[in-house]
Structure 1
Amino acid sequence: LRDKAPAIRREAATSLGKLQYAAASAPILQSLRSPTDRTEEHALIFALIEINEPTQLFDALQSPTAAVQRGALWALDQMEKKTLTVNQVAPLLASESPQVREAAMRVFLRHTEWTGNVGQLLEQWLQGESPGDADNNLIAGFVTAFAGTDSVARVVGQHLTMDSPQTAVRLLESLGNADRIPLHESWSEPLNAWLHSDDTQVLATTLRAVASIQTDHFDKLLVGLVANATKSAAIRLAAVEAIMRHSPRPNAITFEFLIRLLAEDASPQERTTSARILSNASLTSEQLRKLTDNLPFAGPLELQLLIQPYRRDVDKATSVAFLDALVDARSFSALAESDVSDVIKRYSQELLPRGNQLLEKLRQLNEEKRAQLDDLIPAIRSGVPARGKAVFFAEKNKCSTCHRVGDQGGQIGPDLTAIGRIRNERDLLESIVFPSASLAREFEPYTVLFNDGRLMSGIVVHETDDVLHIQQAEGKPQVIARADIESVVPTTISIMPQGLDKPISKQDLADLVAYLRSLNQ
C-alpha cells in the first residue's frame, strides 16, 4: 500500500479485500488520506467493503481528513453488515467538506426509513434532555441539509426565539452552514432580534446564518452594522458578506469600509478577506480607479485577488490607472503572466504597448526565479525537517491555512500528509515558488463568468444541478447559482499565489522543503 507505483498500490488493496484481512482496515484507511486518483480511491474503498469489518470504520467517520470520512461512509453503507445508523450519518451533513456532505446526503436519501418525516425527527432530537456534543453534531448536520424544507424550517423557527438561547444559537450555527436557503416566514422576527445582540459571538453566528439565506430582508440592519465603527472589523466584514451574497455591487459605505481594511494597519486576515470580497464584487469605474491606489501596497495574495475586477471591460482612465499602479506594485513579481495578460488583452491598441512592457518585465522576473531554482537545490538538501515543520505551521507563512498534514491545518489545498512519497526536492521547491507549474488532480482551477460580467476564479469543490461551490484562496466556498453563470472554463492559474516564498529566508525554505520531503507515511 506504500509502494511508489499507483498500479501496485491498487493491486495490493484489491488483494487485501479479496483476502478479507480485517487487520488491513487501518492501513487502508491511512492510504485514503492521499490517493493519487479516483481509481486508487475506489480500490481502497472496495477493499474495505469486502473486508466487511465495520468497527474501525465507525472511528474513521470522526477523522479530520475528509477523504477518510467519505471512504469510511461509503464502505459502511455498502458492506454486507448493515450497521450504519441515522445518528452516525446526520452529523456528516454539516461537514466542512462539500464532498463529505454530498456523500452523507446520498447515503441519507438512500434510506427511506430515515426520510419519512424529517421535521418530526428534528423536533424529537431538539426535545432531548441536555444533548451532548454528538447530539449537537447530529442536529447541526440535519438542519444544514434540510433547512430548505418546510417541515424542518417550521421547527427551526419555533426554536429560534430568545426564550431558548442555547438551542437557538445551535440552530443559527447550522443555518450558517446551509446553502442558499429561502427565508421562512417564521424566521424573520427572531433573526431580527438576534441581529441586535450585544454578544459578539452570537452576532457573528447570526450574520453567518443570514448570509446563507436568499433575502434582502435584513439589508438595512446589515448596512447599519457595516457603518457602526464601534463594532469589530470581523463583525462588519461578516455583515458585508451577508449583503453581497445577493447584491454584488457595494454601496458607498460598504466600499469605503473595505478600502480602509486594505491599509497597512489592518490585520493580515482582515486585508485578505477584504481583498477576496472586492475580487468578487461588481465595481463601478470610479470604484475601480479608487481601488488602484491600493494595488502598489498589496501583498502577494491580496494583489492576485484585487486585480480580478479589472478582467472585464473598463474605460481608458481606469486602464491607465491600473497600469500605473502595477508598475509600482511591491508584489508585482508574485503575479502569474496570465493574471496580467487576462486584463490587458481587453485594452485598446493605444494601451497595448504599455501592457506588453509589463508582461515582458514579469517574464524576465520569472526567468530569473527559474534560474535561481538550480542554485537553491544544494541548499535545500541541508534543510532540517523539525525546523521546517515550525515554518509550515507559522501563521505568517500561510502554509497550514490551506494545507493539512495529519489532523492539523486547512483543507483548501491538497492534503500533504504523504507528499514526500510522490514529490522530490525540486518538485516541492517549484510548487512553492511557481504554484501554477503543476496542479494537483481534483484541485484544477476554473474561471466563472457571471451574467453581469463579473469573474471569479477558484476550485469547483462541489456542484449540483442548481449551484456550484467555488473555493477561493481564502474563506469558505462561494455558493453560486447556475442561473447566474454564463460560462465556466478551466484556467492554468493556481489559487495559491506566487510570491509566498518572498518573506521566507533561504534557510527556512530549505527546512520547509526538507519537512515536506519527510512526509511519506
Structure 2
Amino acid sequence: MNFTVPDGFTIETAAEPPLVGYPMMACFDERGRLFIAEAAGTNGTMDVLERLQPNFIRMLEDTNGDGKFDKSTIFADKLQIPNGALWHKGSLYVAEPPGIWRYTDTNDDGVADVREHIAGKVKSNGMSSTLHGPVLGPTGVLFWCGGQSGYALDKDGTAPNYRITPGVFTLRTDGSEHEVFSVGGLANPVEVTFSPEGEVFGTVDILDRPEGARHDALMHWVYGGTYNVNANDKNPLKRTGDYLPPLSHVGQVAPAGLTSYRGTQWGDEFRNNIFWAQFNTFKVVRTQIERHGATFKSQDEDFLVADNVDVHFTDVLEDADGSLLVINTGGWFRHGCPTSQIAKPEVKGGIYRIRRTDSKPVEDARGLKINWAKLKERELCDLLTDSRLVVEERAISTLADRGKKAVSELKNILSSSKSVQARRNAVWSLSRMNAAPATAVIRRALNDTNSSVRQSAVHALGMLRDGESVAALSKIVVEDAEASIRREAATALGRTGKAEAVPHLLKALRSQNDRFLEHSLIYALIQIGEPKKTEAGLADSNDRVRRGALIALNQMDGAQLSREQIAPMLSSRDFELRKAAFQIAVKNPEWSGDIASAIHDWIQQASTEDELSFLGEAISSQAADDSVQRVVSETLLNDATPEPVLLTLLESIRRHNPKAKQFPQPWSKAVEHRLHKGTLESRLAAVAVVRDRGLNQFDNLLKQLVKTEKRPKLRIAFISILAPRLSPVDEESFSLLMANVQGEASPLLRLDAARTMTSLKLSEQQLTTLAGALSQVDPLALPTLLQSFARNTNDLVGLALISGLEKAPAAANLSSDELARIFNKFSSTVVFAAQSLLKKLGADLEEQEKHIEQLLAGMSGGDFSRGKTVFFGKQAACSACHRVSGQGGLAGPNLSQIGKIRNERDLLESIIYPSASIVQGYHPYTIETENDFVYSGIITRQTPDAVWIRGTDLVETKVEQKQIKSMTESSLSTMPQGLADSLTQEQLQDLMAFLRNLK
C-alpha cells in the first residue's frame, strides 16, 4: 500500500494493527491521548447492533513522544455504533444511538465509569448515518449531525416513525438549548468544522441526485438554512425561498470527517484550509476557501491519495504539533455503502501522520508544563495569542471557566490589544461564560475596526440571543461593508425576537442579490414573527423587499395574506417575485381566476429555462381549472407556438393529477393534433401523454398512424400504446418490432422495440419465431426480450427458447437466476432441458477476477477523444443509459465525474461485469402482476396505492399495488453484461481513457 502526498510533505504510520482495528473518528484530550470511535468489523441492521453492541471507544497513548502510539485501552465498550468523539472538560462526548452521550473516567484508570445520555432521541437505521459528532463550536456550543430516520430533541422524548430532514444541531454541554441549526441532504450530514469567525462548514453524503447523478458536498451551513432535501421528509425549519447551494459539489465520493487547519507549522497558505476525508476515493482533499459575498467560494485539490481500493479514509484531525492525522477504517464496512458490496474484515485500518518536511519541533506543544491553575487572568490573556494551537484553545476555555474574575482583563484585551487573534479569542472566552457582565463586554467589540473581530462578536451575541444589542445590530445589518457580517447580524436579530428590528431587516433586503444574505434576513423576519410590521415590506418599491416580506409572511405563524396583496404580484415584471406569489396563491383555490389569468400571460412570456420550468409546474398544479385547460389547448393547437413551450405544456398535462379519471375534454383535441403534427420530439411528447395517462380514445388514430408513419421510432411508440389492447398482434407490427430489435437500429430504438415486444400478447407462433431470432439480438435488448416468454407455459415455446439462447452469443451474459425464474413456469420437461444452459451461465467469481486482472494489464494508454466517440456511439451504447456533461440517457448513474470517484479497476469491472457492484439507488427489481405481466427496472417511487418502475428505456410504468403478485430485488444490474464484447482491445482502452478523465 502506497500513499502520495504533495512535495514537501511526508506520511508515516502513527498506529496500526493490532494496536487498532477499524478506527472511524477520533479526538485528542489535553494530555494528547487519542480517543477513537472504533468498529468491531461487524455489519448489521439496527436490531443486530442493539443486540450485540459490538463497538467501542479506544484510547491510544504515545508514551515516549515519538509520534507513534504504543498503548491501547478500551475506554468504553458495548456500544451500537459510535460516530464521533469530543473531549471537553474532563469528559468524552460521543454521538451514539440513541443520542449524545457523556462518558467520564472518574478515577483516571483509562476506563469510563460514568455514562450519561444528555440529549436527543434519535432513531437508528443501523448505519453510521444515524448521527455523528459532537464538535465544539467557538462559543462553547456542541454541534452534531444526522437524524435522517427521525428524532426527538428531548432525550426522554420518542422518535417519530417517519423520516425527518437530516441536518446540523446545536446544544449546550449540559444538554440544554437543543435545537436544529440547519437542514440539508437526502441522507447523511457527517461532521462540521469552523472558520475563525465561527462559520460552520460540513460534509454531506448524498446532497442531491440531479439527472440521476448522486452529488455529495462540502457545505457552508448557515443558521435556519434549508439546502436540498427529500421532498417527502418532514422539514422542521421554515423556508426562505429556493434551496441554499453547497460550497463544493462533488460526485459520489462519500465524504466523511473534516478539519479546518488552524496551526502555523505549514505556513500561511495552509491556515484555515479545510481537509476532508473521502471514503470512496481513498483520498483526503484540501479545500482553499475565500469569502464571496455572504458565503464562500472554494478550490479543491487532492492532498493525500492511496493506491489501494480497500483504504477508506473516515476522519482528519490536527495534532498539537501541527501535523495532520488521517484515519483509515479499513475494508470492513458494507451495510448501506454503495461502493463496498463485499465486507472485507480481514483488511484492517490504521492511522497515519502527515508532516511538513521543514516543520520545526514544537516545545511543550500541549502546554503540559504550564501550571494552569496558578496562572493569573492577565497571564492567561497573554496565551490567547500563543502559536501553539492547544495552548491557545486551553487559554480560551480556562478564562471562560474563571467567569467574572476574567471579565475585566478580557475587556482590556478588546479595548487595547493590537492583536486581532487576541481580541477575537477574547470574544470567544466571554461568550462561553453565558453571563450578563461578559455579554455586555462583547457588545463593545461590535465597533471593532477589524471585520473578523466584529463578525465574531455579532455571531457570539446571536448565539446568546442578546436583546440589548438590537439597536447596534440593526445598524450593522444595513450599513456594514461586509456581507458576511450583515448576514450574521440578521441571524442575531432573528434569534433575539425583537420587533424593533423588522424595519431594518426589510431595508437590508434592498442590498445586492445574495442568496445567503437574503436567507438570513427573511429567516430573521420569520423568527421575530411580527406580521403587521412585516406587511410594510409588501408596499415597498423594491422587488427584493416585496418578495422577502411576502415569503416571510407566508411562513410566519399567525400571518394571513389576502388576495388583494398577492394578485398584483402575479403580474410583476420580476420573475422571482412572480414565482413567490404563485407559490402562495396556489394554496388558495378561491384565487384560481387570478392564477389562470397570470398563466395566460406567462405562456406568452416564457423563454428562459427557469421560466419554462416554472410555467410547467404552474400548469400541472392548476390543470383542473377550466380556463387553464382552455388556454393550454389553444396554445397546443397553434402551430406557431414555439417548440420549448409545446414540450413544456405536453409534459405538464402528462404529469397532471394521475388519479383523475376524466381526461379534460379541451385537451383531447390538442393531443390528437400533436400526435399528427410537429417535430419528432413534440410528437413523442404527445405519445407520452397518451401512454402515461392511460388514454384509449386515440386507438383508431394510432392504428392508422402505425400504417402511415415512416419513422420507426414513432411507429414503435404508437404500437407501445396499443399493445395492451392489441390482440391478436398483427404481422405488420410484429415484423416491424422484429426488424428493430436486431440490425443497425440505434441502442435506444432497439430498447424501445424490445420493451414494446414484451408488452404485446404474442401468439405461440410469434414467440417461437422470436426465440429463433435471439441469436441475432445483442446484449442490450436480450434481457428485456426474455420477459416476452415469462407469461407463456407452452413446452414448444420453452424448448424453442432454450434452442434460441444456446445459439445466442449474447446469452453468455445473462443471469442464470433470472432465466431459471422464467423456465420454472414450464413443465419439468423444459426445466430439465434448460439445466445445461443454466449451468453454463452460472457466474464463476474466480474466473471473473482473473479476467479483470488480465484486461487491466492492457488498459494503459488509450485516447480520450476516440473514447468519447466509443461512449456516444451505437456499438457500445453507453450513452443510451448514462449521461456525461448533459448528454446521454438517465437510466443509469450520471458519469460526468466518474473518474474522480472510481479507480481504474472499478471502472473496468463495472463495464465487463456490471452486476458485480450496483450503485446505491439503482438496484433493479422484478415485479410480477396477477395477470402475469412482468416488469423489470428501478423503483422510482412508491405510494400505498402504486409502484412506479423505470426500465432501461427510461419509461416509467405505474403498477397498482393491488395487482402485484410479487416484487423481488434482483442481483442483476439493469446494465446488460456483454456490451463490451463487441469492442476491440483498442476501443476498450480508449473508452477507459475517456472515463478515467471525467472529473
So what's the TM-score if we normalise by structure 2?
0.42
Q: CA offsets per residue over residues 272-317 of structure 1, 9 Å max, x none?
A: 2101222344434333223213211101011111111222342111
Q: Tell me the residue number matched to 1:479.
A: 958
2:843 and 2:683 mapped to 1: Cα distance?
49
Q: Tell me the residue number matched to 2:606.
A: 131
* Shift in Å, 1:435: 0.8
2:242 and 2:669 mapped to 1: Cα distance?
46
Conserved in 1, the CA contact under 8 Å of 2:651 and 2:685? yes
* Shift in Å, 1:498: 0.3
Q: CA offsets per residue over residues 206-225 of structure 1, 9 Å max, x none?
A: 33332232321110101111
* 163 and 518 in structure 1: CA distance in 2 versus 1, 3 angstrom threshold: closer
* 232 and 422 in structure 1: CA distance in 2 versus 1, 3 angstrom threshold: closer
2:910 to 405, 411, 431: 431
**SS state at 1:380 partner:** coil
Alignment of 1:244-259 (within 5 A): 244=723, 247=725, 251-252=729-730, 253-259=732-738
Q: Tell me the residue number matched to 2:423.
A: none
1:404 to 859, 875, 883: 883
Conserved in 2, the CA contact under 8 Å of 1:446 and 1:489? yes
1:486 and 1:432 mapped to 2: Cα distance?
33
1:514 and 1:48 mapped to 2: Cα distance?
40
1:477 and 1:65 mapped to 2: Cα distance?
25
2:741 to 249, 256, 262: 262
Is 1:450 aligned to residue 450 of structure 2? no
Highest Rg: 1 or 2? 2
Conserved in 2, the CA contact under 8 Å of 1:447 and 1:489? yes
2:948 and 2:250 mapped to 1: Cα distance?
21
Amino acid across the alignment from 1:188: S
Q: Structure 2: where are the runs of 5+ without partners? A: 6-23, 26-128, 134-144, 146-187, 228-239, 253-514, 524-546, 552-578
Alignment of 1:461-480 (within 5 A): 461-480=940-959
**SS state at 1:456 partner:** strand
2:221 to 44, 47, 62: 47
Is 1:224 aligned to residue 398 of structure 2? no
* 271 and 354 in structure 1: CA distance in 2 versus 1, 3 angstrom threshold: same
2:196 and 2:838 mapped to 1: Cα distance?
57
Name the count of aligned residue pairs: 480
Q: Tell me the residue number matched to 2:977.
A: 498
Q: CA offsets per residue over residues 466-495 of structure 1, 9 Å max, x none?
A: 432212112332333334433322111111
Identity %: 26
Is 1:141 aligned to residue 613 of structure 2? no
* 168 and 351 in structure 1: CA distance in 2 versus 1, 3 angstrom threshold: closer
2:751 and 2:804 mapped to 1: Cα distance?
19
1:310 and 1:366 mapped to 2: Cα distance?
29
Is 1:324 aligned to residue 803 of structure 2? yes
1:116 to 580, 583, 588: 588
2:859 to 363, 371, 380: 380
**SS state at 1:436 partner:** helix
Q: Tell me the residue number matched to 1:71.
A: none
Q: Structure 1: where are the runs of 5+ without partners? A: 67-74, 87-106
Q: Tell me the residue number matched to 1:351.
A: 830
Q: Tell me the residue number matched to 1:237.
A: 716
2:814 and 2:831 mapped to 1: Cα distance?
18
Q: Tell me the residue number matched to 2:789.
A: 310
Larger strand percent: 2
Is 1:184 aligned to residue 664 of structure 2? yes
Q: Tell me the residue number matched to 1:211.
A: 691
Is 1:338 aligned to residue 812 of structure 2? no
2:649 to 163, 168, 171: 171
1:32 and 1:200 mapped to 2: Cα distance?
32
Q: CA offsets per residue over residues 428-478 of structure 1, 9 Å max, x none?
A: 222211111111111111111122101111001223344322121123323
**SS state at 1:488 partner:** strand
2:900 and 2:871 mapped to 1: Cα distance?
18
Conserved in 2, the CA contact under 8 Å of 1:449 and 1:488? yes
Amino acid across the alignment from 1:498: Q
* Shift in Å, 1:247: 3.9
**SS state at 2:906 partner:** helix
1:159 and 1:473 mapped to 2: Cα distance?
33
**SS state at 1:307 partner:** helix
Amino acid across the alignment from 1:335: L
**SS state at 1:15 partner:** strand
* 150 and 483 in structure 1: CA distance in 2 versus 1, 3 angstrom threshold: farther
2:650 and 2:628 mapped to 1: Cα distance?
14
* 161 and 425 in structure 1: CA distance in 2 versus 1, 3 angstrom threshold: closer
* Shift in Å, 1:382: 4.5
Alignment of 1:65-144 (within 5 A): 81=522, 113-117=585-589, 120-128=594-602, 129-133=604-608, 134-144=610-620
Q: CA offsets per residue over residues 358-396 of structure 1, 9 Å max, x none?
A: 112223888755432221122124455565444434443
Q: Tell me the residue number matched to 1:72.
A: none
Alignment of 1:151-166 (within 5 A): 152-153=628-629, 155-157=631-633, 159-162=635-638, 165-166=641-642
Q: Tell me the residue number matched to 2:991.
A: 512
Q: CA offsets per residue over residues 247-294 of structure 1, 9 Å max, x none?
A: 476732533432232342544433221012223444343332232132
Range moving further from structure 2, 47-56 or 440-449: 47-56
Amino acid across the alignment from 1:132: S
Q: CA offsets per residue over residues 182-209 of structure 1, 9 Å max, x none?
A: 4112223333344443765554443333
**SS state at 2:949 partner:** strand
Amino acid across the alignment from 2:193: S
Instruction: Provide the aligned C-alpha RMSD in A.
Output: 4.5
Range moving further from structure 2, 168-177 or 313-322: 168-177
Conserved in 2, the CA contact under 8 Å of 1:459 and 1:470? yes
The one of the two structures with greater contact order (alpha-carbon pairs below 8 A, sep at least 6) is 1
Alignment of 1:269-308 (within 5 A): 269-308=748-787
1:412 and 1:225 mapped to 2: Cα distance?
28
Conserved in 1, the CA contact under 8 Å of 2:600 and 2:631? no
Conserved in 1, the CA contact under 8 Å of 2:911 and 2:980? yes
Is 1:362 aligned to residue 841 of structure 2? yes
* 408 and 217 in structure 1: CA distance in 2 versus 1, 3 angstrom threshold: closer
* 31 and 421 in structure 1: CA distance in 2 versus 1, 3 angstrom threshold: farther
Conserved in 2, the CA contact under 8 Å of 1:33 and 1:65? no
1:462 and 1:401 mapped to 2: Cα distance?
22
Amino acid across the alignment from 1:131: A
1:403 and 1:306 mapped to 2: Cα distance?
21
Conserved in 2, the CA contact under 8 Å of 1:18 and 1:47? no
Conserved in 1, the CA contact under 8 Å of 2:772 and 2:803? no
**SS state at 1:287 partner:** helix
Q: Tell me the residue number matched to 2:259.
A: none
Conserved in 1, the CA contact under 8 Å of 2:793 and 2:827? no
1:14 to 192, 198, 204: 192
**SS state at 2:939 partner:** strand
1:79 and 1:467 mapped to 2: Cα distance?
37
Conserved in 1, the CA contact under 8 Å of 2:867 and 2:987? yes
Larger helix percent: 1
* 374 and 165 in structure 1: CA distance in 2 versus 1, 3 angstrom threshold: closer
Q: Tell me the residue number matched to 1:489.
A: 968
